[in-house]
Amino acid sequence: MEKHDLKFMKEAINWADACQPIKESIPKVGAVIAVGETPLGRGRRGTGAEGDDRHAEEVAIHEAKDKSGLTQATLYTTLEPCTRDVRSKPLECCTELIHLYKIKKVFVGILDPNQGVTGKGLWRLQDTGVEVALFPHELSEKILVQNAAFIRSQQTLGATILAPKDGEELRTGCRPIRFKCLNAPGPDTYLLAYNEGLYWPQPGPFRSIGQGIWEIDAHFGSAGEYGLQLVTADSLGSALIRYYRKITEQNRSRRDKLRDKIDVSLLGSDYPGIQMNGLPKGLRFEAAVKVILAAQVNLIETSAEPVTISRGKALKITYEIECSENIPNGIWLGASFRDKTQRLFFNTSEDKSISLTKGRNSYDRRFTIAKDAPPGEQMLQASLWRGIVGDSSKSKWIDGRPPIPIKVVE
């Protein structure tokens, strides 16, 4: 190593110091390219904002006016050059640019802590005939301190849950959870669903759908407010989840053996949940959202009688509803119709709150025809709501069926 090599390494570190990344997942990187003691170009990493995301090596290379001289040049960069795997435009990655311009030698400050890059940049350079060397230890330590926030971010998934959104309402059953992350989920990554102090590890698997975006299914057995948490487990956390899965497998096996001998509904759920007051030791939080789980409620059919009715009289509307579980309150039966002028007729005083019972059941309500309702054929719309009875502005529409034809007479 020559004296000028140390000079350019320190200069690259100083250039990295001036970086102003907009988030921790963007590193501070400086680069200098030189032939012998003569610098040809310098560069630093962009902020990460749109239009300002160029890499330090790329900037330094393009600053060199005489590209033909690059075949004898040495590149000094504080961070391992990136590879095709992590760039949306693979041919613009730093290792390919170094190969393209046949740069002779590269000094690297530290390996990239990004698990998708670590060591791959060095291997790619060596594979294409580039001589590779590392900065001295004392300079590498400065770069580690300089990039402490970036390194910390790369030691986690760097995950953001994309769907569902925080506070979104879902239906019970199986729902895909989509998230974006810097580092791919591994065997120590888990999705937990929790409700009222109980945690349910989801079985997986994680599915890659490209560009650092992944999916995993979450299973919800009952309505309520749930939290969804992505976590990383150490050996203690993984042991806890393995034990839980062992218990659920034993529960399923027991149910199968007793299926023809007893009423297996008496056995309760195969998935009892883990009682925890927050995340225990062994599980590290990565990302979370809260969701509202609503039971599967379907309005199967509606009918009204009589179909011919005088103004001021009440008809009976019947709702055939199928529900995945008991819902004691919060559901109400709505009804209305519009005349040809789009005037709306309804009876909020007769809108009815109901308690839903699991399974398929019938419910009914009255609907008094207004005394000023227009005579003739009308289309009565019966619907199902969740919220404050009679107030559609503070309720959520659940389901409806095609309008019911009725005839209003004098």
pLDDT per residue as tens digits for the range 108-140: 999 998 766 789 999 999 999 999 999 999 999
Amino acid identity, residue 211? Q
Q: How far is CA 42 from CA 65, 77, 110, 122, 259, in A?
A: 12, 10, 18, 21, 73
* Average pLDDT in the chain: 92
CB-based contacts of 63, cutoff 8 Å, min separation 6: 33, 40, 41, 42, 43
| Residues 257-306 pLDDT 10s | 888 888 767 777 788 888 888 887 899 899 999 999 887 889 999 999 99
Q: How far is CA 301 from CA 114, 317, 382, in A?
A: 56, 11, 10
Which residue, among 357, 356, 350, has the nearest Cα to 382 in the 3D structure? 350
* Percentage of residues in the chain having pLDDT higher than 90: 68
Min mean pLDDT across 1-5, 183-187, 331-335 is at 183-187
Output the pLDDT for position 350: 97
Calpha distance 319→300 (Å, rounded): 8
Calpha distance 78→13 (Å, rounded): 6
Which residue, among 45, 49, 46, has the nearest Cα to 30 in the 3D structure? 45
Calpha distance 302→322 (Å, rounded): 12
Amino acid identity, residue 85? D
Output the pLDDT for position 88: 67
Summarize the confidence of residues 230-243 as an average pLDDT: 92
| Residues 153-198 pLDDT 10s | 887 888 999 999 999 988 778 899 999 987 889 899 999 999 988 9
Output the pLDDT for position 61: 96
* pLDDT at residue 228 greater than cutoff 90: yes
Domains of the chain with bracketed CATH = 3-154 (3.40.140.10), 160-294 (2.60.40.10), 297-409 (2.70.50.60)
Output the pLDDT for position 269: 78
Calpha distance 18→311 (Å, rounded): 80
Residue 97, φ and ψ in degrees, nearest 5? -65, -40
| More confident position, 33 or 259 | 33
Output the pLDDT for position 1: 84
| More confident position, 25 or 243 | 243
Output the pLDDT for position 123: 94
* pLDDT at residue 318 greater than cutoff 80: yes
3-state SS assignment for residue 241 = helix
In degrees, to the nearest 5, what angle opens at C-alpha 303 toward C-alphas 373 and 353? Answer: 80
DSSP string, 68-125: GGGGG-EEEEEEPPP-GGG-SSGGGSHHHHHHHTT--EEEEEE---STTTTTHHHHHH
| More confident position, 229 or 340 | 229
Q: In the chain, helix, strand, coil percent, each to 5?
A: 25, 40, 35
H or E, element range at 301: strand 297-305
Q: Please state the pTM of the whole predicted model.
A: 0.55
- Answer whether 47's CB lies under 8 Å from 56's CB: no
Output the pLDDT for position 54: 92
Calpha distance 63→25 (Å, rounded): 26
Which residue, among 401, 364, 400, has the nearest Cα to 384 in the 3D structure? 400
Quick one: CA dihedral 147, 42, 124, 6, positive or negative?
negative
